[in-house]
Structures are given as structure tokens and as C-alpha cells.
């Protein structure tokens, strides 16, 4: 069965091979007589699924040994509260606002600490990342928060900020929800990374937190126990019942990622090459087109989420209906920004982007 190409921003497409395997194991996981949803999270069957998923993820993302990997719940939005509850010590926290998601994080943090706006791209309608020379970092911040891929605005950091070089000793916190596992991460610059799984790793319900060990144990006293990173880490992410089925499916995605190859490299390195090829194909077409436009500065365009607008917005509905008829799904832009958006995460093959570009071309020609 060939399925349509799904450009959803999240929950997003999952590789066919993963869904086929999950379906085949639905009633009986590897001769255990149980489906994964029906297993005790502390039983040996699920423990083996969990341990393999964690080890595979550590290998894929090259997470150093002095970082803990936590499998939590609540999504990126809950982390907007959980991070300050654990790391702010009710002090000052620096935020760089580059789009809808970092702005949400900045606003939520005000309930727990004193958020300080280091720089904002709001007056450019989130089409750029303010250069480090424009940042006003605090002297005493508990941490600095950036969203390294703005899913709605289509803005991505192609290198992480080097806070030490900018004169700050604060740990860097990154929201990598929508581009995790699409490129390598320089962990030497990172204190904590968080992200929901439903963009690029698997089903909704699982939230990934990767935290430098020295940052554990600083939570405020009213931090809920289930969200206290130290308690979660000390209990191997089983302080409460973890989202077992989401962990299992994400684990299958990790195996799929490890098996992907491109020019002699595999895993995230292969995904990175593919993401460059896929996004270049789409941006190159948009940039030469008379009908469509992407408004983000070239230096910070996302390889994962590509928003674009029809210069004649009255054609939006016809565009979406025609796309659906061609098997190109969920291209409508986020309601806060309008227009269109193609999310091309790891599960989107190059052929899907080629099919999209062919449609963009045909639609433009017939409308001319």
C-alpha cells in the first residue's frame, strides 16, 4: 500500500516500516503473549524495550555520559513550566524570542521566575534570528532559553550560540522539539534539551529531556514530584508510569534511523544530508516562483518546517484542495500565521518533496 505524503507539523508522519512492525506486534510482542500497551512498565519485557530505546537514542544523538536521558510526559508546553521549576531557582532567566514557541516559553516562565528578554525578532515578524551582537545577556541568569527550530515560523539555528564566548556562564536550554535527530548537536554548549516526540521521533505522549547531571537537584520546593528531574532521573524515568507505548514506537523509529544511510554515513548524519537536499529543493523552487514566497532570511531558514505564502491568497483553498487530490496532505499553515507550511521531517522521503514541487509547479502554471 502506498500512502499519501503527509506534511503535518505534528503529530507527524512516522515511517511506514515502523507502523507495519508496530501493527504486527499489536497483539503479541515477540512471543510474550501481550501487546506492549498491556505490559507492566517494570516487567522484564518492557524494561528491555525501554533500555534499548534509551541506548539507541544516546547513540543516535551522541549524548555524552555526563548527561541523563529522561522520558517524561506533558510535551514541550509542560516543559515551559517544568524547566523553570527545576532550574530557575526563582531567579532571572534569559530568553531569546525568535518565534511563536520561544515567545510562549518566555510568557509561561513569568509564573515561576523573572524572565528577561535578551533579544526578540518580533518586529521582523519572526523572519530572522537576532545576531549575538544584539543580545543583552544578564550577568546572573539561571539559564538561557532558545528554541532551536521554530516550528510555526520556520526559523532554525544552524549553529548553537556559544554562551561562554558571549560572556555568560549560564547553562543553555534548548527546545529542540521539531528538529531533534535531523542534525548533530554540540553538547559542549548545552545544559538541557527538551522536546516532544510527536514531530520527529514518534507518537505524541512522550517528552524527551536530556540534562547535564550537574543541573539535577536544583528544583524549587513546590515543583511537582513527577516533574522533578532529579527524582525522575533517580528512578530511571519510572517515578510514575511512563508513556510505554509511545516509548516503544519511538524505539522502533530509533532503529529505523540507525539503519538509514546516505553517502556512507548513517543515522542522524544521513538524516542531516537528506534534510539539506529536501529543503534546498523546496526553497529553490519557492525562491524563483512568481506565485509563492518564503519570507525567512536565508541564513536561518528551517530544514524541517517550510512556511510559504501564495502571493494571491484568494487561491489558498483551491491550492489545498488540489494538493489533497494529488495525495499531498496537511499543507495548511498554522492558524496564527496563515498561508501554507510543508513540514518535512525525517520520515518524509525525497520523493515526497519532489511530488510537492511538481504540484507547486503545475498549480502555478495553470493559474498563470
Ligand X SMILES: *Cc1c(COP(=O)(O)O)cnc(C)c1O
The answer to whether residues 55 and 63 touch, using CB atoms and an 8 Å cutoff, is no
Q: Which is nearer to ligand X, 147 or 190 (CB)?
A: 147
Q: Residues 104-143: x/- map of binding to ligand X (CB under 6 A)?
A: ----------------------------------------
Closer Cβ to ligand X, 56 or 156, answer by number: 156
Closer of 29 and 101 to ligand X (Cβ):
101
Structural contact between residues 260 and 15, judged by C-beta atoms closer than 8 angstroms = no
Single residue of 147, 208, 304, 328 touching ligand X by CB under 6 A: 147
Within residues 344-363, the interface with ligand X by CB under 6 A covers: none
Binding string, 189-218, against ligand X, x = CB under 6 A? -------x--x-------------------
Cell, residue 194: 527538551
Residue 79: CB minimum distance to ligand X, A: 7
In the complex with ligand X, the residue whose CB is nearer, 11 or 236, is: 11
List, as own/partner pairs, every contact residues 362-365 make where C-beta atoms lie below 8 angstroms and the sequence separation is at least 24, other chains included. Answer: 363/291, 363/319, 363/322, 363/323, 364/289, 364/290, 364/291, 364/292
Q: What is the CA radius of gyration of the chain?
A: 21
Which one of 129-137, 172-180, 276-284, 331-339 is the stretch in contact with ligand X (CB under 6 A)? Answer: 172-180
CA–CA separation, 307 and 312 (whole Å): 15
Q: C-beta of 179: minimal distance to ligand X in Å? A: 8
Would you please indicate which residues are annotated as catalytic (active-site) residues?
101, 175, 199
The distance of closest approach from Cβ of residue 165 to ligand X in the complex, given in angstroms and rounded to an integer, is: 25
Secondary structure of residue 112 in the 3-state scheme? coil
Task: Please identify, among the stretches 71-79, 236-244, 293-301, 313-321, the one whose residues bind ligand X according to the rule CB under 6 A.
Answer: 71-79
What letter does residue 332 receive in the DSSP assignment?
A: B
Asked if 76 touches ligand X (CB under 6 A), the answer is yes
Q: Quick check: 182 binds ligand X (CB under 6 A)?
A: no
- What's the min distance (Å) between Cβ of 11 and ligand X? 9
Which of 69, 118, 112 minimizes the C-alpha distance to 89? Answer: 112
Residue 126 CB neighbour total at 10 angstroms: 24
Q: Is 125 or 324 the residue whose CB approaches ligand X more closely?
A: 125
By the rule CB under 6 A, 178 interacts with ligand X: yes
345, 12 Cβ separation under 8 angstroms: yes
Residue 10 engages ligand X in binding (rule: CB under 6 A): yes
**Site residue total, ligand X (CB under 6 A):** 12
Answer yes or no whether residue 75 interacts with ligand X by CB under 6 A.
Answer: yes
List the beta bridge partners of residue 307: 341
In the complex, what is the shortest distance from the CB of residue 333 to ligand X, in angstroms, rounded to a whole number?
A: 14
Residue 99: DSSP 8-state: S
Q: What Cα–Cα distance (Å) separates residue 96 from each residue in 150, 190, 298, 326?
A: 12, 15, 19, 40
Burial of 315 (0-12, 13-18, 19+ CB in 10 A): middle
Residue 13 as a binder of ligand X (CB under 6 A): the answer is no
Grid coordinates given for 70: 529522561
Residue number with CB closer to ligand X (177 or 291) = 177
Angle at 192 between CA 191 and CA 198, to 5 degrees: 155
Contacts with ligand X by CB under 6 A lie at 10, 75-77, 101, 147, 151, 175, 177-178, 196, 199
Amino acid at each position: 500500500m502506498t500512502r499519501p505524503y503527509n506534511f503535518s507539523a505534528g503529530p507527524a508522519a512516522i515511517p511506514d516500516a515502523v507502523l507495519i512492525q508496530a501493527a504486527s506486534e499489536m497483539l503479541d510482542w515477540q512471543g510474550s503473549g501481550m501487546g506492549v500497551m498491556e505490559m507492566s512498565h517494570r516487567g522484564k519485557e518492557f524494561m528491555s524495550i525501554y533500555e534499548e530505546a534509551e541506548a539507541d537514542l544516546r547513540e543516535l544523538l551522541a549524548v555524552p555520559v555526563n548527561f541523563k536521558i529522561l522520558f517524561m510526559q506533558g510535551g514541550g508546553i509542560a516543559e515551559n513550566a517544568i524547566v523553570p521549576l527545576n532550574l530557575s531557582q526563582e531567579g532571572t532567566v534569559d530568553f531569546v524570542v525568535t518565534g511563536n514557541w520561544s515567545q510562549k516559553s518566555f510568557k509561561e516562565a513569568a509564573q515561576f521566575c523573572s524572565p528577561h528578554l535578551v533579544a526578540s525578532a518580533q518586529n521582523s515578524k519572526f523572519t530572522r534570528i537576532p545576531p549575538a551582537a544584539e543580545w543583552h545577556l544578564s550577568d546572573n541568569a539561571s539559564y538561557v532559553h532558545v528554541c532551536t527550530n521554530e516550528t510555526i515560523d520556520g526559523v532554525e539555528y544552524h549553529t548553537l550560540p556559544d554562551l561562554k564566548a558571549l560572556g555568560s556562564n549560564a547553562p543553555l536550554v534548548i527546545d529542540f522539539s521539531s528538529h531533534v535527530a535531523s542534525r548533530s548537536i554540540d553538547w559542549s554548549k548545552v545544559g538541557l534539551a527538551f522536546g516532544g516526540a510527536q514531530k520527529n521521533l514518534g507518537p505524541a505522549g512522550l517528552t524527551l529531556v536530556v540534562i547535564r547531571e550537574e543541573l539535577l537537584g536544583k528544583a524549587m520546593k513546590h515543583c511537582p514530584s513527577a516533574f522533578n528531574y532529579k527524582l525522575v532521573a533517580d528512578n530511571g524515568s519510572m517515578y510514575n508510569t511512563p508513556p510505554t507505548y509511545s516509548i516503544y514506537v519511538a524505539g522502533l523509529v530509533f532503529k529505523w534511523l540507525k539503519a538509514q544511510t546516505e553517502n556512507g554515513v548513517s543515522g542522524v548524519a544521513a538524516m542531516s544530508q537528506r534534510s539539506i537536499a529536501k529543503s534546498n529543493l523546496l526553497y529553490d523552487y519557492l525562491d524563483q516562483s512568481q506565485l509563492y514566497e518564503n519570507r525567512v532570511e536565508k541564513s536561518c531558514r528551517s530544514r524541517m518546517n517550510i512556511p510559504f505564502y501564495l502571493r494571491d491568497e484568494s487561491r489558498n483553498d483551491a491550492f489545498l484542495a488540489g494538493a489533497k487530490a494529488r495525495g499531498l496532505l496537511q499543507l495548511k499553515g498554522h492558524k496564527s500565521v496563515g498561508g501554507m507550511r510543508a513540514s518535512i521531517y525525517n520520515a518524509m522521503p525525497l520523493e515526497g518533496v519532489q511530488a510537492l514541487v511538481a504540484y507547486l509547479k503545475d498549480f502555478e502554471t495553470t493559474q498563470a
